[in-house]
Amino acid sequence: MLKKIALKAFEKYASRWVVLIVDILLVCISFILAYTVRFNASLNFDLNNLYYQVPFISFIALISFLTVGSYRGIVRHTGTRDAFNVFIGVTLLSMITISIVLINNTFNIIPSFTIPKSIVIIHYLISILVLIISRYVFKAFFEIISTELKTITNVLVYGAGNSGLITYGALNRDTENKYEVLGFIDDNEKKTGKKIDRIRIYNSTTINKEFIESKEIDEVIISIQNIKSEKLLYLTDRLLDLGVKVKIIPPLSKWIDGDLEANQIKSIKIDDLLDRKPISIDNPIVQRDVNDKVILVTGAAGSIGSEISRQLSLYKHKHLVLIDQAESALYDLQQELLQENRKNITFIVADVRDEKRISEIFKQHKPQKVFHAAAYKHVPLMETSPYEAVKINIAGTKNIADLSIKYNVERFVMVSTDKAVNPTNVMGATKRVAEMYISCLSHSENHTTKFTITRFGNVLGSNGSVIPLFKRQIENGGPLTVTHKDITRYFMTIPEACCLVLEAGTMGNGGEIYIFDMGNSVKIYEIAKRMIHLSGLNFPEDIDIKITGLRPGEKLYEELLANGENTTPTYREKIMIAKNQKLDTLVISNKISDLCIANKEHNNQKTVQLIKYIVPEYKSKNSVYEKLDITKG
């Protein structure tokens, strides 16, 4: 308690004026010491002289230190520059003193006032020594107190290679936190038992619950560059079970000026553990394809649309037109891009279902490329609102696609979903119908517009996705809700998804459905458990997981390819083209037009039945529309 009070007192009161007063006091004490040194540690000198000499020295010291500013440095951060300023200040003090003494002796101004020149020289040397040492003593004292008051974090560094050594150095340099590295972990048996800077290297097999508890380990930092996702997943699960916090160093490319800093070491996030390698697409063809072009994005304020808009805004486009019916979300995106000084962007509140309004926008801005991301995507909500799902996902897509042909758009790119493959719900089925309509237009020879479809799985962090839901449930104390213990999903990050969309906007001759190599599907139940552990909590003691049952239209697993589809590669290793099923384009396009007209009757049963005629593979699951599968002829 006394140490805390002392530390606060240092921080609050050790201002520059206190430093100035202390320096003057030390100068006065040094002056007295100079006399004792000169007279062999005896008092064989006239003590009365000190009564007027000490105030004189104090005044000269005040002038000197104010002139040089030696008192301005923060004492607890004393360095060579501060020591040099002290040297200059004391030198000036001695020069003024010796000058006044010589003038007084020459002109005999005050006969009784005299200071031996030897005293001035001795005082000069003692003052420099005392003032500089006092600063370093104060600095050391402050560091001792502050170090003892900081909470020490006991750390193990996983990886005893170059990256591990760099991490060790970064932790030692950190002045904000107190880390104590108690050991390195490495899978290489040849390193086991050896030491780095007197710190032992342990084999990973020896790290168990007893080891963690005996060493009082708080954190394990994984310091392995280019670690495989499978390895990271295994290590994280194992370490979290031991009750320690798991952190990871960033990739080398993200180090600050090539150096790793302790504040860059972050806790592992759930997207680090999704059993797949993040893919970054860097294609100069995208730049060539969007520069100097007028580009229109629908659904621009949504999760995917907003990221597409952000990435496009970085290019040298001629004009970027962003459309969304969500006023508040579009306003937020507007403020974000304006704050970042992105230029040549128009934000328009409009509904893709409003043919007249959208036609006016096309006529005014004459877009050359269209990225269509506007859609309703929430499965349970759309299962109870087929009318809205058809109106936006099918009629809205049809409206934008038809206008793209009318106004000679060069390329139309549609954002689709893996739920359109062998759909079991209204949302997925409407997206599949939209895909089919785009495919029909692709086979038409009456226009020059190239139509492209992109199809991918769930997006991490998007509105309504499982990750934000789990975060909110953890913040509220749980439980986490999972519909089925065996349910799996594909995942990708929003930037990755949008890279795919932009990439697809430059590839092919039109009519292709591009799918992404998304790695392995992941069990939602396992994600829930990992998120609990990554939040520093225990499952099921702190937060439990509740199985709620499959929702209407929900699948246990998703697919990226429909029956009868297979893939061909592209020049991008992770992007493939799904070979389309053969369609009777005239019949299908007519059925889709009829569906849009029939949907206006607000008869959900009839609407869903018509969708099932268009998409024969659409089989409802856990839904009121299952009976329509039986009567479908």
Tokens at 118, concatenated: 């030897």
pLDDT means over runs of 10, the chain (633 residues): 49 64 88 82 68 85 85 68 85 88 79 78 88 82 61 86 86 77 89 88 89 89 78 79 82 63 69 55 73 94 90 90 94 92 92 95 95 92 95 96 95 91 92 94 87 81 70 85 84 76 80 76 82 76 87 71 61 72 85 94 94 93 85 49
Buried b (16+ CB within 10 A) or exposed e, 339-376: eeebeebebbebbbbebeebeebbeebebbbbbbbbbb
Strand 567-569 relative to strand 575-578: parallel, antiparallel, unpaired? Answer: antiparallel
Strands lying side by side in the sheet with 199-203: 195-196, 199-203, 178-186, 152-158, 219-222, 245-248, 266-267
What does the pLDDT read at residue 477? 84
Tell me the sheet residues that pair with 456. Answer: 417
What does the pLDDT read at residue 395? 96
User: What is the distance between the alpha carbons of residues 541 and 304, in angstroms, rounded to a whole number?
Assistant: 37
Question: Catalytic: 419?
Answer: yes
- Count of C-beta atoms within a 10 Å radius of residue 59: 12
What does the pLDDT read at residue 579? 72
Catalytic residue among 377, 419, 450, 591: 419
**What is the identity of the amino acid at 523?**
K
What's the pTM?
A: 0.63
User: What is the distance between the alpha carbons of residues 320 and 339, in angstroms, rounded to a whole number?
Assistant: 16
Tokens at 35, concatenated: 């006399």
What does the pLDDT read at residue 364? 95
Tokens at 441, concatenated: 């237009």
Distance set, CA 59 to CA 97, 156, 290, 370, 526 (Å) = 10, 56, 73, 79, 74
What does the pLDDT read at residue 13? 45
User: What is the distance between the alpha carbons of residues 163 and 223, in angstroms, rounded to a whole number?
Assistant: 6
All residues at 6 or more sequence positions from 620 whose CB lies less than 8 Å from its CB, including other chains: 424, 425, 553, 608, 626, 628, 629
**Which candidate, 351, 377, 394, places its Cα nearest to that of 599?**
394
User: What is the distance between the alpha carbons of residues 240 and 536, in angstroms, rounded to a whole number?
Assistant: 9
Domain annotation for the chain: domains and CATH numbers: 2-148 (no CATH), 152-268 (3.40.50.720), 284-457+493-517+559-614 (3.40.50.720)
Distance set, CA 134 to CA 28, 123, 137 (Å) = 14, 16, 5
What does the pLDDT read at residue 403? 96
All residues at 6 or more sequence positions from 507 whose CB lies less than 8 Å from its CB, including other chains: 452, 514, 570, 572, 575
> In terms of DSSP H, where are the helices of 69-208?
80-107, 117-149, 162-173
For 297, the 3-state DSSP assignment is strand
What does the pLDDT read at residue 632? 46
**What is the identity of the amino acid at 361?**
I
